[in-house]
Amino acid sequence: MKLQIVEYPDKRLRQKSQEVKVFDEKLHELLDAMHPFMIETNGIGLAAIQVAHPIRALVINLPDEEGEQHPENLLEIINPVIVSKAGETTYQEGCLSVPQFYEDVKRHDMITINYQDREGNTKTLDADGLLAIAIQHEMDHLEGILFIDHLSYARRKKFEKEYKRMQKERKKSK
């Protein structure tokens, strides 16, 4: 299955993703394609809508202390629901759909989510630190929300200016 990143300001990123009801071979094919694609594009988190599949599925593969991403750390999270949240933390986030732009975003420091795995089994996960940040960032994608939507007005203006200039650069270099 050939995947391609949908990039801001593509309207498709603003769709609300649909709940996954059937945990079939087609779903597994998509998940099996999303993981290597994310690794190849240097991502640590990817929501299905970013590869034009507006379903409530996301993958996360955090790097270890050496910055290595190991397949055993791969998380496949489907139909996630936050059941508890606490604390506050700020991190400079990036997103494969908003290339070359990084900005501080405030998130909850600890969250507990209920979700389903690729077979549809219900699971619970307590997350803190970078994992909690990644889950919140990817769950925003399921609502059509991008990390740049959390920026202050001034920062968002700065982003829009920079992004337009960068897009022009990329068109010229293509």
Ligand X SMILES: CC(=O)Oc1ccc(/C=C/C(=O)NCCc2ccccc2)cc1OC(C)=O
CB of 109 to ligand X, least distance (A): 13
- The alpha carbon of 16 is separated from its chain's Cα centroid by a whole number of angstroms, namely 14
Which position has the token pair 């949908």?
Answer: 6
Q: How many residues bind ligand X (CB under 6 A)?
A: 15
Dihedral over Cα of 7, 46, 109, 93: its sign: negative
Q: Are 139 and 82 in contact (CB under 8 A)?
A: yes
Q: Choose one: 11-19, 23-31, 42-50, 82-90; the region binding ligand X (CB under 6 A).
A: 42-50
CA angle 115, 90, 56 (to 5 degrees): 25
By the rule CB under 6 A, 4 interacts with ligand X: no
Q: Are 41 and 48 in contact (CB under 8 A)?
A: no
By the rule CB under 6 A, 9 interacts with ligand X: no
CB of 147 to Co ion, least distance (A): 6
CB of 146 to ligand X, least distance (A): 11
By the rule CB under 6 A, 51 interacts with ligand X: no
Comparison of 62 and 120: residue with beta carbon closer to Co ion: 62
Distance CA 94, CA 101 (A): 6
Q: Which of 44, 51, 55, 146 binds ligand X (CB under 6 A)?
A: 44
Q: What six digits make up the tokens of 125?
A: 């996960």
Q: What six digits make up the tokens of 75?
A: 């998380």
Catalytic residue (choose from 76, 93, 103, 138) = 138
Q: Which of 17, 55, 61, 91 binds ligand X (CB under 6 A)?
A: 91
Comparison of 4 and 84: residue with beta carbon closer to Co ion: 4
Distance CA 149, CA 113 (A): 22
- Which residues are near ligand X by CB under 6 A? 42-45, 91, 93-96, 99-100, 130, 133-134, 137
Catalytic residues: 138
